[in-house]
Amino acid sequence: MSFDFDLYYDEAGIKATAAASYLAAIQRPSFEVYGERGTFIRVEKDQQERDLKKFYLPTGHDDFGLDTPEQWGTLRYYDDAGNMHEERVEPVRSTYSLFYDALYETLVNGAPQLVKPEETIAQMRILEDATRDLK
């Protein structure tokens, strides 16, 4: 079982690919960005996902979702002088629960929506278009 979805953003000149395979002997990177002067690759999945699957929850655990340096992504790029650089990039720490906190604030206290309805509809259209030929 595997899939590859290519999403083209013509106005920005960007192509994004979402892919996965259960049959691969070696894990694909979970995140890749390729540019003219550099590349960013993160092989490991988000630590939050692993923690949640083990029912290790954010409440009472200061290390919830905390990535180890081995899990960080790698940035390789050329500077203005043409010299190649490589550095490990620590991810911004966050938690999925912030989304649900924002949803609560919207529903109970009338705060602005974190995810706008048109953004949700756009995501649904992308998924529908991507899976239309799979039926």
Give tens-digit pLDDT for 41-66. Answer: 999 888 888 898 999 988 888 898 89
Residue 75's Cα: distance from chain center in Å?
A: 16
Give residues with Cβ within 8 angstroms of 77, minimum separation 6.
35, 37, 38, 39, 84, 85
Low-confidence ranges of the chain (pLDDT < 70): 1, 133-135
The answer to whether the beta carbons of residues 47 and 67 sit under 8 Å apart is yes
pLDDT of 6 reads 80
* Dist CA 46 CA 41 (whole Å): 13
pLDDT of 134 reads 64
pLDDT of 78 reads 97
pLDDT of 54 reads 92
pTM, to two decimals: 0.68
DSSP for residue 58: S
| % of the chain residues with pLDDT over 70 | 97
CA-to-CA separations, 11 to 7, 15, 122, 129, in angstroms, rounded = 12, 11, 16, 19
Pick the closest to residue 114 from 125, 104, 129 (CA basis). Answer: 104
